[in-house]
């Protein structure tokens, strides 16, 4: 991600937030008596696409939760679509026309917003299930950077 020096005041709007997938298996179906939340395993995935023509950044975020015996309990994924009003100032073209670099503060902010939105929607989906106490953790910016952006380049769509 590029430096935060001389970053512009980015203006953006949310075009949409859309659940891509949601599924879970009840404890009864999995023949589980209880879930030890301290031993819960979580897997995260994300994909970022930049569309210069439409001036959008689209983030797909997904998560899977497993118990301590690696049995998948639930999965959820979300797509957030952001319209960047001052796109040319906020997104830097690389020498490779298929990739862009998004200023790190903007990318961390948008990823944090995407994760928070996913957390809220997932809590609402799980409210009346066996998994009402499972939620996506809150991450600091440094945790988001380490988990999702170590060595990645954002892909473009023209």
> Is residue 4 in a domain?
no
Is the pLDDT at 145 greater than 70? The verdict is: yes
How many CB atoms sit inside 10 A of residue 69's CB? 9
SS3 content of the chain, % helix, strand, coil (to 5): 25, 35, 35
Domain that holds residue 46: 12-157
> Is residue 92 in a domain?
yes
pLDDT band at 65 (very low <50, low <70, confident <90, very high): very high
> Is residue 2 in a domain?
no
> Is residue 143 in a domain?
yes
> Is residue 24 in a domain?
yes
> Is residue 109 in a domain?
yes
Contacts of 124 by beta carbon, 8 Å cutoff, 6+ apart = none
- CA end-to-end span of the chain, whole Å? 21
**How much is the pLDDT for 84?**
93
**How much is the pLDDT for 6?**
52
Would you give the DSSP letter of residue 96? S
**pTM of the predicted model as reported, rounded to 2 decimal places:** 0.86
- Determine the Cα angle at 103 with ends 49 and 76, to 5°: 40
List, as one string, the DSSP characters of 43-65.
EEEEEEEEETTTTEEEEEEEEEE
Beta strands in the chain (DSSP E): 12-24, 41-51, 56-66, 72-84, 91-93, 99-102, 154-157
CATH of the domain at 134: 3.10.420.10
Domains contained in the chain, number: 1
- Determine the Cα angle at 122 with ends 120 and 123, to 5°: 65
> Is residue 17 in a domain?
yes
pLDDT band at 18 (very low <50, low <70, confident <90, very high): very high
- Determine the Cα angle at 124 with ends 120 and 126, to 5°: 115
> Is residue 3 in a domain?
no
């Amino acid at each position: 991600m590029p430096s935060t020096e001389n970053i512009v005041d980015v203006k953006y709007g949310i075009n949409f937030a859309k659940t891509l997938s949601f599924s879970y298996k009840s404890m009864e179906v999995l023949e589980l008596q209880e879930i030890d939340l301290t031993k819960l395993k979580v897997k995260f995935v994300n994909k970022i696409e930049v569309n210069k023509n439409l001036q959008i950044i689209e983030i797909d975020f997904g998560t899977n939760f497993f118990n301590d015996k690696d049995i998948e309990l639930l999965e959820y994924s979300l797509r957030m679509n952001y319209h960047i009003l001052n796109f040319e100032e906020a997104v830097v073209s690389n020498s490779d026309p298929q990739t862009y670099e998004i200023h790190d503060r903007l990318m961390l902010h948008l990823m944090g917003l995407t994760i928070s939105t996913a957390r809220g929607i997932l809590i609402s989906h799980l409210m009346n299930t066996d998994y009402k106490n499972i939620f996506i953790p809150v991450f600091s910016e440094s945790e988001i950077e380490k988990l999702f952006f170590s060595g990645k380049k954002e892909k473009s769509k023209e």
